[in-house]
Structure 1
Amino acid sequence: MFKGYCFPKSIIVQAVYFKFRFGLSYREIEELMAIRGVKVDHATIQRWVFKFTPLLEKEFRKRKKSVGRRWRMDETYVKVRGKWCYLYRAVDKQGNTVDFLLTKRRKRMSAQSFLIKAIEKNVKPELVNIDKSGSNKHAIRIYNKRSLSTIQIRQCKYLNNIVEQDHRFVKKRISRSLGFKEFESARRTLSGIEIVHMIGKEQLISKKKSIYKAFYSLAS
């Protein structure tokens, strides 16, 4: 994964981790690395994040713990190039992250794409709690019809507080930055933030005690 790079794996992973864990700008990470005796340009760190995030996510999903079958599904907003995009997220009854998906539009097809992704990479839920969103409700109904499933739909706003509170971790990590300039960059960065968040919630099968060591193990 790290062959052919001028910097060792430990340096690359540490810089990438700083971005996901603390919501620092790339220039701030460059300064932090310099304090630690490592001279690396902020643009290089940005390329590392773009390059290695999909590989780290792929490894994480191999070792992700199973989630429950009663979900809370919701979406929040993320600005990309000055326009609002929609981050669909779901957690189970215990607050474990089920899955996430960044989309350019908020509509039934987007909600349906997220639902299909979440089920394919996890397990089919027995119940999904949503707010009053018509697109989410319609997406579940269409999925049930096409797959002959019986996923229950429950619309209870206060029960979705757990996922709305969970949004805050992600939003906090991106609030200090200048925003995303490209959709794909936003998608990969948000994936990394979600990975670190899930590790913090002990959703990674790992014997490592610290979040960083568990994150580093994904690059082994």
Structure 2
Amino acid sequence: MSTTSDPYRGYRFPAEIINQAVWLYHCFSLSLREVELILADRGIVVSYETIREWSLRFGRTYVKTLKRRRPQPGDKWFLDEVFVRIRGKLHYLWRAVDQYGNVLDVLVQSRRNRKAAKCFFRKLLKGLCYVPRVIVTDKLGSYAAAKSEILPGVEHRQSRYLNNRCEVSHQPTRRRERHMRRFKSAQQFLATHARIHNHFQLGRHRLSASEYRVARERAFDSWRDATGTILVG
């Protein structure tokens, strides 16, 4: 991990165990207690509350490093929003992916009006620093209103059938929501979960076995680089 000081300094457990716990929690639909149990089976006695702390503290750091080192995303963006309940209140999770299925960004907001859509567009553009060739959304009017102000020269395709790529990208969040019995907090967790989970979704159905192994090893190399750990042979 490219930092001037050791981010793991002062922690009782080594970096390899911390990043393994964070990886298990975000890459699979596991609860904190299930991750605790898996680690216990490997002789690592740590509480689920400690794993929660690791996830909050290091997950965001890992994601920032992965984000900086990812290749240039595609120029075709698919945008969609889905409702989630946080502490019993209705919110909307805005998500954007490119044509390759890479998650570009997520944002939790309480509305899905023009102002909320503009906020999401600005967050996307600030993080990616380039303008897409085309955006694809459903027929929610907020997208067209915000696009006309923020991205007036970009082609906009609206159809409930063209946006399946982004809708599919919501599925891991839905599985995690059911597993957690709704969220108690959202923005930081969902942003971390989306990027770590997506990093290891390699489109296996489109790859041969040998191509998949190469892509998988490349993903693990990036992960080890982002977490500051090394492969133990």
TM, length-normalised to structure 1: 0.87
- Identify the residue that residue 154 of structure 1 maps to in structure 2: 157
Question: Does residue 217 in structure 1 map to residue 220 in structure 2?
Answer: no
| 1:179 counterpart SS class | coil
Query: Which of 100, 103, 121 matches 1:97?
Result: 103
Aligned residues: 211
Shift of 1:211: 4.7
1:48 maps to: 54
- Aligned-partner Cα distance in 2 for 1:181–1:156: 33
Please state whether the residue corresponding to 2:72 is helix, strand or coil. coil
Are 2:141 and 1:112 equivalent residues in the alignment? no
Question: What is the CA-CA distance between 1:4 and the residue it aligns to?
Answer: 0.9
Say what the alpha-carbon RMSD is for the aligned residues. 2.2
Residue 68 (structure 2) aligns with = 62
Question: Secondary structure of the equivalent of 1:176?
Answer: helix
1:153 Cα offset (Å): 1.8
Structure 1: distance between partners of 2:50 and 2:220 = 21
Per the alignment, residue 170 of structure 2 pairs with 167
Instruction: State which drifts further: 208-217 or 62-71.
Output: 208-217
Tell me, in whole angstroms, the C-alpha distance in 2 between the residues paired with 1:44 and 1:171: 25
2:9 to 3, 27, 39: 3
1:132 to 134, 139, 157: 139
CA offsets 1:123-162 (integer angstroms, 9 cap, x no match): 2112211111111211111213xxxx41122212211111
Q: Distance in 2 between matches of 1:96 and 1:41?
A: 33
Deviates more, 1:14-23 or 1:116-125: 116-125
**C-alpha deviations, 1:85-127, integer Å up to 9, x for none?**
2111112223332222122322222211111121222221122
Gaps of 5+ in 1: none
TM-fit CA distance, 1:73:
0.8
Tell whether the 8 Å contact from 2:202 to 2:215 is kept in structure 1 after alignment: no
How many angstroms does 1:15 deviate by?
0.8
Paired residue type of 2:225: S
Unpaired stretches in structure 2, ≥5 consecutive residues: 1-6, 204-213, 229-233
**1:219 deviation in Å?**
1.2
Amino acid at match of 1:64: R
**What is the percent sequence identity of the aligned residues?**
33
2:181 equivalent in structure 1: 178
Structure 2 counterpart of 1:127, which letter? V
